């Protein structure tokens, strides 16, 4: 068995569909698609690709951290202290365990992710 997995977006198949809970949505229609690629360490490490339509919602990363690499689009992240950071295609960032804020998809976004729970 190989321990190398290529992530080819064209070969990922049908996505999982979801959206943030209604009570967390601030604006827009943030419909989301995800393509899980791998789960490791008894389900505590998740990797895959994710896509979201424009919209904003409240996020609480309690219990997990997430590394993101944007392939397409623009997002604006607002910390609970009001600090705003904007990321676009080609940028990478880390949302640490305990991050609380607002995720705003400004332009439809596609990202690769690694989540550690």
Interval 42-92: pLDDT, tens: 999 999 999 999 999 999 998 999 999 999 999 999 999 999 999 999 999
Residue 91 has phi, psi (to 5 degrees) of: -90, 150
Question: Which among 1, 111, 107 has a CA at the least distance from the CA of 49?
Answer: 111
**CA–CA separation, 75 and 46 (whole Å):** 21
Residue ranges covered by each domain of the chain: 24-116
> Given the DSSP bridges, would you call strands 45-52 and 92-95 parallel, antiparallel or unpaired?
unpaired
**For residue 34, what are its two tokens?**
């995800």
Provide Rg for the chain, Cα atoms: 14
% the chain with pLDDT above 90: 92
CATH T-level topology, domain 24-116: Jelly Rolls (2.60.120)
Is pTM beyond 0.95 here? no
Does position 1 have pLDDT exceeding 90, yes or no?
no
SS3 of 15-42: the string is: CEEECCCHHHEEEECCCEEEEEEEEECC
């Amino acid at each position: 068995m190989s321990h190398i997995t290529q992530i080819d977006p064209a070969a990922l198949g049908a996505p999982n569909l979801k959206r943030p809970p209604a009570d967390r949505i601030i604006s827009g229609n943030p419909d989301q698609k995800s393509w899980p690629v791998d789960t490791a360490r008894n389900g505590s490490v998740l990797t895959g690709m994710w896509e979201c339509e424009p919209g904003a919602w409240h996020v609480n990363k309690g219990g997990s951290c997430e590394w993101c690499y944007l392939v397409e689009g623009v997002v604006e992240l607002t910390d609970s202290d009001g600090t705003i950071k904007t990321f676009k295609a080609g940028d990478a960032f880390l949302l640490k365990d305990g991050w609380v804020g607002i995720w705003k998809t400004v332009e439809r976004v596609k990202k690769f992710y690694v989540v550690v729970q």
